Amino acid sequence: MNAIEFDNCSILFGKDSKHALSLADEGMERPAIKEATGCVLGAHNASLSVAEGEIVVLMGLSGSGKSTLLRAVNGLNDVTRGDVRVRMGSRMVSVPDADRACLRALRLGHVSMVFQQFGLLPWRSVAENIGLGLELAGATPASRRARVDAQLAAVGLDGWADRPVAELSGGMQQRVGLARAFATEAPILLMDEPFSALDPLIRSRLQDELLDLQRESRRTILFVSHDLDEAFKLGNRIALMDGGRIVQTGTAREILARPANDYVADFVSHLNPLDVLTASDLAEAGKADGSPLPADMPLKQVLSALADNTACPVAGGGVITRDAVLRRLAAA
Amino acid sequence: MARLTTRLADWFAGEKIPVGDTADRVFDWLTVNASGLFDAIAAGMQAMIDAILWALITPPPLAVIAVFMLIALLLQRHWLTVIGVMLGFLYILNQGYWEETMQSLTLVLASCLVCMAIGVPTGIALAHRPRLYSWTRPLLDLMQTLPSFVYLIPAIVFFGIGLVPGLIATVIFVLPAPIRLTQLGISSTPVALREAATAFGATPRQLLWKVELPSALPQIMAGLNQTIMLSLSMVVIAALVGASGLGVPVVRALNSVNTGLGFESGMVIVVVAVMLDRMLRVRRKS
């Protein structure tokens, strides 16, 4: 079951969006459209569906339209043409067609969000920030308290409840941002480069914590990132964007093994293949002696297996040779 | 050539643009057609002034001083400020200006109430309508730059003499400050905060009360401080239309070239200004 569906979604900023849209349909690129109409092409004909419980990462360089697309899910950006549908209980609701009350219900209980710059209210305490979504929904302070405390514990901030958020470090502030998003118990979570403003060590720790939280309460997460390692670490699937268009969607391995065009190939060329590729990606036609390696064995373990043999068979057919792997790694 | 320029200048001066005549006609028309409105405003203002003045004059001075010290303590939580307020009031009592000070405080407090009651909602409305604000700005500039004496003349015409015309002139002169500062505070709310609250389902009203107003609070409090200081600066001018208070001895000293009296009453005004400023200063942590 899908939780989010983008259906030929186009987002333009500016007045003469109709004309700009027709130019985009002819395949014109963003700078030329801006020149001709004054409109900025945010996203064009983007189609993507996110299944329930899945983490999909929208990835691309800055300005590729990934945040623009993300913000259409909860109506922060208006969709110019096409549709964005979001699951509310048993039905899919079209966000562009939603009236004010429906949009509010969606934001209160079905879709929550984490921001790159945290977006915390600096004059409030940690607990008051975490309870924001519940407060806006009209929950009484007493009924908020229990859920806020649970979230405080979940992100490891118990004991900080009454401190002003301004006193916290960046990493802790984003933990508050995470707790605020989890507190509404919305099944869909939008994350707009949530860890980009943090230093690498904290970033990596928060990524792990996010994966832990995700194991406990399976949510649908649409995650925006410009960091390839982050995308490959978190994403079940990745959608690569360029100039407002989605150029390839697939798992990390699919993208690495078969990049759709030069942009994607260039993008993934800096990635460490040790973290992503598995035995089946390296297999060639042929046969070898010995016990076969499992098809999903990570490359690191394949290498240690090849230290003892020049060639190993792969379960389900094919062979991995030492020479082929060395050639592949040298090329990357 | 010289004759030509003279004739040109004569011709130019001959056709005077009727600024004064127009103002006359506008005010005449208002006197005839809107006197009911002005009477109602005057009655409301008078009632407010009477109530505040009664509250300040009736209790014994030492009780009033104690109340002001308590307010200073509650607002600032700073003992030096509380002691300063006490010393200031005792100085005023010592100089024999208690009643005049209470009358002037009445003018300042009444002006604060009116200016904040009108200024803050207006500032919010203008912050949400940037185009309207750009149209309103020349009017606000005019209100602040027109010499405040000028307001006194129609104020006398509409409201007679006393504290009410003084209050009206003060409000017109001071009002732009809280409007501008509220507008500045609300419109400089970080977009990120507004978006975060919107993403979590805030209605426009919740956005105003839970995000924009708290974010604008330092500016709004600065507006209150400005309102008080500017109102106090109008105390002497209001005395010209018969508003009782600390301005009266200053004006009397000026008319009789009495340096001693001038400095004496002037110093009392300074003491009042310093006390009010210290009492209402906003100290934002981090």
Per-residue pLDDT tens for A77-133? Answer: 999 999 999 999 889 999 999 999 999 999 999 999 999 999 999 999 999 999 999
Instruction: Give the separation between CA A245 and CA A69, rounded to whole angstroms.
Output: 10
Please, is A93 exposed, middle or buried when counting C-beta atoms within 10 Å of its C-beta (0-12, 13-18, 19+)?
A: middle
B192/A contact by beta carbon, under 8 A: yes
Helix (H) or strand (E) holding B235: helix B235-239
Other C-beta atoms closer than 10 Å to the C-beta of A100 total: 10
pLDDT at B284: 55
pLDDT tens, residue by residue, B175-200: 999 999 999 999 999 999 999 999 99
Compute the nearest-CA separation of B80 from chain A (Å): 26
What are the DSSP calls for B7-53, one per residue?
Answer: HHHHHHHHS---HHHHHHHHHHHHHHHSHHHHHHHHHHHHHHHHHHH
Q: What are the residues whose beta carbons fall under 8 Å from the beta carbon of A164, sequence distance 6 or more?
A: A122, A123, A124, A125, A126, B285, B286
**In this complex, do A120 and B196 lie within 8 Å of one another by their Cβ atoms?**
yes
What are the DSSP calls for A230-247, one per residue?
Answer: HHHHH-SEEEEEETTEEE
pLDDT at B285: 45
**In this complex, do B197 and A76 lie within 8 Å of one another by their Cβ atoms?**
no
Question: Of the given ranges (A28-42, B9-23, B235-249), which has the lowest mean pLDDT?
Answer: B9-23
Instruction: Give the separation between CA B142 and CA B274, rounded to whole angstroms.
Output: 28
Whether A329 shows a pLDDT value over 80: the answer reads: no
Residue in A76, A117, A164 nearest the CB of B199: A76
List of chain A residues whose C-beta atoms are within 8 Å of the C-beta of residue B200: 107-108, 112-113, 132-133, 136, 180, 184
**In this complex, do A108 and B200 lie within 8 Å of one another by their Cβ atoms?**
yes
A332: confidence class by pLDDT, cuts 50, 70, 90: low
* Minimum Cα–Cα distance from A70: chain B residue: B199
List of chain B residues whose C-beta atoms are within 8 Å of the C-beta of residue A184: 200
ipTM: 0.83
Q: Are strands A40-51 and A2-13 parallel, antiparallel or unpaired?
A: antiparallel
Residue in B192, B201, B214 nearest the CB of A119: B192
Give whichever of A142-156, B14-28, B54-68 has the largest mean pLDDT.
Answer: B54-68
B188/A contact by beta carbon, under 8 A: no
List of chain B residues whose C-beta atoms are within 8 Å of the C-beta of residue A132: 196-197, 200, 210
**In this complex, do A107 and B198 lie within 8 Å of one another by their Cβ atoms?**
yes
**In this complex, do B214 and A132 lie within 8 Å of one another by their Cβ atoms?**
no
Cβ–Cβ under 8 Å, residues A78 and A97: no
User: What average pLDDT does the segment B104-125 reach?
Assistant: 95
User: What average pLDDT does the segment B256-274 reach?
Assistant: 93
Cβ–Cβ under 8 Å, residues B42 and B164: yes
Instruction: Give the separation between CA A189 and CA A20, rounded to whole angstroms.
Output: 31
A315: confidence class by pLDDT, cuts 50, 70, 90: confident
**In this complex, do A119 and B193 lie within 8 Å of one another by their Cβ atoms?**
yes
CA dihedral B59, B60, B61, B67 (to 10 degrees): -50
Beta-bridged to residue A302, according to DSSP, are: none
pTM of the model: 0.82
**In this complex, do B192 and A107 lie within 8 Å of one another by their Cβ atoms?**
no
Instruction: Give the separation between CA A136 and CA A58, rounded to whole angstroms.
Output: 29
Residue in A104, A121, A180 nearest the CB of B203: A104
